[in-house]
Amino acid sequence: MKRILSSLLIALMIIGFISPFTVLAVNDDLDNPDDGMISQNESYGDLLIDPPNDLPAVTGTSYILIDCESNTILMGKNIDSPVQPAAITKLMTILIALEELSLDDTITITQPMYIGIPENYYTLGVTEGEEVTVRDLIYAALLASDSDACLAIAIKISGSEQLFAGKMNARAAELGCTNTHFTNCYGNDDVNNTSTAHDMAIILNECTTHQDFIDISTTFQHTMLGTNLYSDSRVISNANRFISTQEYSYDYYIGGLTGYSDGVGYSVAAASSKNGRKLVGIILGATDNQARYTDMINMFDSGYSAFSTLPLDQGEFMPLYNDTIEQINSALLGTDLAVMESSMELSNYITTTSVRVSLGSTNTVDLSPVVIDTTSMADQSFRIPICRSYNDGKVYIVGVLNVLVGQKDNLVSINPEKQSIWSGLRKALVTLIVILVLFIILVYALIIFRKKARNRAYKEFRDKNKML
C-alpha cells in the first residue's frame, strides 16, 4: 500500500510540472511599463569581435567576406573606411545596365563616349558612329575592364557621365550603401570617387542576382562580331585570373572584377557559390597583383569551412511561440488583460562558427524584462526577441515575437493557433484523464488489497479450526 501511495504522489508531482514556469512580471503599481526589448549578446556581424583562431591573414587596406544568405560578415578589416575602389567601380555601372537595358539593345557611339579617358586605361576601341550591342559592351567591361564600354553605357542611360554618377549614388543608397560616393562610371583615379569594402560587397552581391552577370563574368573568351563600321571580329579575353589561369582558378567563382590605382594599390571583388552558400569578398589595396587572388581564395575556403549557415524553419519555433503566449495569458489570469494579437518574425538563416554549431543549441524566449501594467486601460505592445542559445554561451537573436496585451472586453477575433484557450482546456483535460486513470489504479489496487486481506483472514480462520 505504501508503494502504491508513493507512486500516486510522484504522478501528482509530474502533473504539477505540466504547467511551464513563467518569468513574466505583472506589476499592479507600475507607472512606466517596459517596452519588452531585450539586449542581444551577439548579433549578425559580430563574428568580427570573436573570430575563429585559424582565419587566414589578408593583405590590404581593407577587406571583407560576407555570407549572403544570412547577411553575416564573416571576417574583415576597416570594412567601412572609404577608399578609391578603382576599376571595381564598374560593378555599379554594369548593375544599372543589367537593370535598365536589354543585352540586345544597340548603342551608337558618340565622341563623348570615349574622348577623355586617360591613355593608360583599358579600352575596347570604339569609334564615333559605330553601333555596338549592350551585350558586347558588358563583356568588354567585365572581361577586359574596358572603360569606354562603361562610358558608352552611362551616356546611353543618362545622357552624360555626371548625371549617370548621380544615378549610381542613388542606386547605391537604395541597396543600403552608406559610405559610397561615385563621381565617374569606370573608376577614374579621382580622390572623390570613393566607396568601402562593405558597400562594394553589397553592390557585387546584387550583381550576382542577375544570371547574365554570372554567365558573362565566368566566360573565358568572347568573340565580338563585326559592326557597321568594322567587318572584323574582336576577341575579348577574360583577364581575371580566377578564369584565365590554372594557378588561381577557383571552381566556385561566379563573378567579379579587379582594379588598381596609384593611391590605393591592387583591389579585387569576387563572389563564389558552393553547396547553396554564396560568399562575397572584397579586398582593397592589396600589396601586389598575385596576393589579392591568393588571399581571396583563402578567404573563400575559410568561409566555407570555419563557418556554417543554417536555415531557420518557422515550424521549429511554433511550440516555443505557443508556449510563450500561454505563459503570458497564464500570468494574466485574474486580471482584465489577455493577449489580443501576436505574431512571429523570423530570420531565414543563421550563420556562426562551425565549431559552435557542433556543440548544439536550444531555442529560447527570455520574458524576464517584460513587465505588464495591469492597471492600465491602454493596449501594451511588446517585441520579445527569439533567441538561439549555443552551448558555449553565445546567444543570437533570430527573430522577434510581437505581442499586444489589452482589455479582455476588447478581445475580438484571434487566430485559434495563437490563443491559449484551447491549450488550457487541453491541459485541463489531460490532467483530468490522468487523475481518472490514477483513481482507477487506486481503486483496483484497493480491491486487490482487500481480496488478499480476506484470503489471508480466511486462511488464518481455517488454520485455527484445524488446530482445535
Per-residue model confidence as pLDDT tens digits over 99-113: 999 999 999 999 999
The CATH T-level fold of domain 61-309 is Beta-lactamase (3.40.710)
> How many H helices and E strands in the chain?
12, 17
Mean predicted lDDT score pLDDT of the chain:
85
pLDDT, position 42: 37
pLDDT, position 33: 31
Selected residue with higher pLDDT from 401 and 22: 401
Cα-based distances in Å from 17 to 22, 367, 427: 12, 19, 11
CA dihedral 221, 226, 232, 234 (to 10 degrees): -20
Whether 424 shows a pLDDT value over 70: the answer reads no
Whether 114 shows a pLDDT value over 50: the answer reads yes
Distance of CA 441 to the CA centre of its chain: 54
The amino acid present at 310, given as its one-letter code, is L
Query: Residues 223-251: what's their mean pLDDT?
Result: 95
CA distance linking residue 329 with residue 418, whole number of Å: 11
Q: What is the pLDDT of residues 252-295, one digit of tens each?
A: 999 999 999 888 899 999 999 999 999 999 999 998 999 999 99
Q: Output the nine-digit C-alpha cell for 176.
A: 543600403
pLDDT, position 294: 96
254-255-258 Cα angle (round to 5): 145
The amino acid present at 357, given as its one-letter code, is V
Q: What is the pLDDT of residues 23-65, one digit of tens each?
A: 233 333 333 333 332 233 333 345 666 778 889 999 999 999 9
Architecture of the structural domain at 22-45+312-416: Roll (3.10)
Confidence of residue 189 (pLDDT cuts 50, 70, 90): confident
Q: Say what percent of the chain tops pLDDT 90.
A: 68
Confidence of residue 439 (pLDDT cuts 50, 70, 90): confident
Domain ranges across the chain: 22-45+312-416, 61-309
Spatial neighbors of 316 by CB under 8 A, at least 6 apart, are 363
Selected residue with higher pLDDT from 460 and 456: 456
CA distance linking residue 306 with residue 357, whole number of Å: 10
Whole-model pTM: value is 0.76
Query: Residues 141-168: what's their mean pLDDT?
Result: 97
pLDDT, position 261: 86
Query: Residues 121-138: what's their mean pLDDT?
Result: 96
> DSSP assignment of 100-144, as one string?
HS-TT-EEE--GGGTTT--TTS------TT-EEEHHHHHHHHHHH
